[in-house]
Structure 1
Amino acid sequence: MTDTAAAAAGPEAEPGEPGRGTVIETRGLTKRYRGGQLAVDGLDLTVPSGSVFGFLGPNGSGKTTTIRMLMGLIAPTSGTAHVLGRPMPAAARTVLPQVGTLIEGPAPYGFLTGRDNLARFDSADPTSDPRTRRVRVAAALDRVGLAAAAGKKAKAYSLGMKQRLGLAAALLQPRRLLVLDEPTNGLDPQGMREIRSLVRELAAEGTTVFLSSHLLDEIEQVCTHAAVMARGRLLVQGPVVALAAGARGRLAVTTPDPGAAAGILAAHGATGLVTEGERVSADAPPGEVELADLNAALVRGGVRVRAFGVERASLEDAFVALTGEGFDVAG
């Protein structure tokens, strides 16, 4: 669904008082549905201006509900949300024309061409200039790699092409903020690289990008900041590098004697042992452990050590440590 200013409602509000240098800021943001289901619970989220912000969480964590509240599509039960310095949903008419969105996948008109779909989206925006529509539509299609398919009907588009079309709709006007839900869904590896490059370009031009993705490696490649939610609550937020650094790295041993190495590591308190061929990895023992002592123990035990050390923790390691489960974006 691609929002336009036509979706906005409510009177223009006076600016709120979010922190300086932030594009999105929530305080105590809560959404409880009928029947008592608590989807979002007291969310305090801060998205720095100019960042590429990854929004992560397992199934049912409340990410989509949060995005809907930020865009004024649903009202919160309690708490506040400021987007571009103004309260939502009260200031939607002021805010939404400055925001490009791609939420829960694009929904183009199948009987229209890609070009005509964009023209229709653009005409729904009261701030757009019809005199420059054709030029802006062509530029948006070119930027997402759909220029050659502009004359095809959208019903003939693949999922990846529809995803590109939705992103093009979000880029019809200069945007201060882009909110993207799974922007690389359905794309092949080359398409994913192109979209990642586009996101970086937009950020370099001053656009803040807020995106959710189930591809944690992608988040590490493209995002500067991230937040992790689970069961409706915010677990952690901050620079991606800091989040990954907060997770414990894993010991890794390369040896032709993996069985013996695993036994010695376990005897010294290592847990979570995984053996893959000649590689043995494990969570480091609790407390202060000298790697040199562990290495010496392996050698004394007759293990032929070819490589030994602590691998840098990834964002995925941090995510699993925080949530206790694997990742599923469908929240």
Structure 2
Amino acid sequence: MTSAPVVTHGLTKRFHGGQVAVDAVDLEVPAGSVFGFLGPNGSGKTTTIRMLLGLIAPTSGAVELLGEPMPKAHLRVLPRVGALVEGPAFYPFWTGQANLLRFDAADRTADPKTRKARAGEALERVGLSNAAGKKVRAYSLGMRQRLAIAVALMQRRELLVLDEPTNGLDPQGTREVRHLIKELASDGTTVFTSTHLLAEVEQVCTHAAVMSRGKLLRQSTVEDLRAGLRPRLVVRTPDAGTAAETLQGLGVTDLKTSGDTVEGDPGELPVEKFAAALVAADVRIHGFGLERPSLEDAFVALTGEGFDVAE
């Protein structure tokens, strides 16, 4: 056994007809991390999460949650895990608070004496206090998503598993969920969150794994995902043609020109040499500098595909 909250060994899922949804995935999620499970829709993220939680059985491989084998130890493990997977089905004619109370009553480990107070705290944390008495059928998609997160927060959890937690949220709601995830992690909860939104990973995650077509391509810290890529030299100028020729003459490779922007790999030459050469060539410089590679750049480098590729 290992102390990592989430570990998989060769986790594989094949559906009828031979379709491989998850292919020999080996995951290890560090304790206390905010772990971004990254990949486009259809890459196998949700199928993996459902196997982690014992909702579906793997074809082969093994899962450990909180140091226990799953699904064998689910009665001991799942009370310590909060989860949002594709959103729970709520009773539409009940209020948000009534739905939370009902979910908590189904949890044999939950204390009925503190149920109402805990429901109020969970609703407050997700920004739904004012809608606690409103029937769920009147909730927007974003409000239902927040209510689903509140279900996962009814008790203190060691591990929180969130599948696309900002789905359907407006920008303000998205910011609130980001803040909540950071807050939970600072309290010692390990947060495992899947997403197809690169900005989510860059802003909240400490570690990430990249999935594509059911395969795990890479897992590391977010910084290390980008570290293998060199920074790009970016010049903004109305003299793009002259700038590109000048930079090429200095050994800049992978040059790309788009409108008034020229960019490329500067190699090892000091950046001030490029600036001096551009000025000497009478290139009018409106913007100049090195830009760090983004997670999107890292994903494309790993997969050879744009991030929004449907699978």
- TM value normalised by structure 2: 0.92
* Partner of residue 285, structure 2: 305
| Alignment pair present for 1:271 and 2:259 | no
| Alignment pair present for 1:102 and 2:120 | no
Write out per-residue CA displacement over residues 198-223 of structure 1, whole angstroms, 9 at most, x where no aligned residue. Answer: 11111011110000122212211111
Secondary structure in structure 2 of the residue aligned to 1:193? helix
Partners of 1:214 and 1:329 within 8 A in 2: no
Q: CA RMSD in A?
A: 2.0
Write out per-residue CA displacement over residues 234-271 of structure 1, whole angstroms, 9 at most, x where no aligned residue. Answer: 11111111112222322201223123223444564532
Partners of 1:57 and 1:329 within 8 A in 2: no
Q: Where in structure 1 are there 5+ consecutive unaligned residues?
A: 1-16
Secondary structure in structure 2 of the residue aligned to 1:303? coil
Cα gap change, 1:227/1:204 in structure 2, threshold over 3 Å: closer, same or farther? same
| Alignment pair present for 1:325 and 2:305 | yes
Aligned residues: 310
Q: CA deviation at 1:184?
A: 1.3
Paired AA for residue 84 in structure 1: L
User: For 1:254 and 1:211, how far apart are their aligned partners in 2?
Assistant: 37
Q: CA deviation at 1:293?
A: 5.0
Write out per-residue CA displacement over residues 45-77 of structure 1, whole angstroms, 9 at most, x where no aligned residue. Answer: 110000000000123221111101100011111
Partners of 2:36 and 2:208 within 8 A in 1: yes
Secondary structure in structure 1 of the residue aligned to 2:302? helix
Cα gap change, 1:149/1:124 in structure 2, threshold over 3 Å: closer, same or farther? same
| Percent identity between the two aligned chains | 63
Paired AA for residue 241 in structure 1: E
User: For 2:43 and 2:245, how far apart are their aligned partners in 1?
Assistant: 38
Write out per-residue CA displacement over residues 9-68 of structure 1, whole angstroms, 9 at most, x where no aligned residue. Answer: xxxxxxxx12x3x11011111111121111111111110000000000123221111101
| Alignment pair present for 1:32 and 2:44 | no
For residues 110-149 of structure 1, the aligned pairs below 5 Å read 110-149=92-131
| Alignment pair present for 1:74 and 2:56 | yes
Q: CA deviation at 1:98?
A: 0.8
Secondary structure in structure 1 of the residue aligned to 2:5? strand
Alignment counterpart, residue 64 of structure 1, candidates 33, 46, 50: 46
Secondary structure in structure 1 of the residue aligned to 2:174? helix
Paired AA for residue 309 in structure 1: G
Secondary structure in structure 2 of the residue aligned to 1:218? helix
Secondary structure in structure 1 of the residue aligned to 2:290? strand
Q: Where in structure 2 are there 5+ consecutive unaligned residues?
A: none
Paired AA for residue 26 in structure 1: T
* Partner of residue 262, structure 1: 244
User: For 1:320 and 1:274, how far apart are their aligned partners in 2?
Assistant: 19
User: For 1:97 and 1:127, how far apart are their aligned partners in 2?
Assistant: 7
Between 230-239 and 301-310, the greater mean CA deviation after superposition: 301-310
Paired AA for residue 253 in structure 2: A
Write out per-residue CA displacement over residues 74-131 of structure 1, whole angstroms, 9 at most, x where no aligned residue. Answer: 1111111101001111111111111111111343211111011101111111111212
Q: CA deviation at 1:170?
A: 0.3
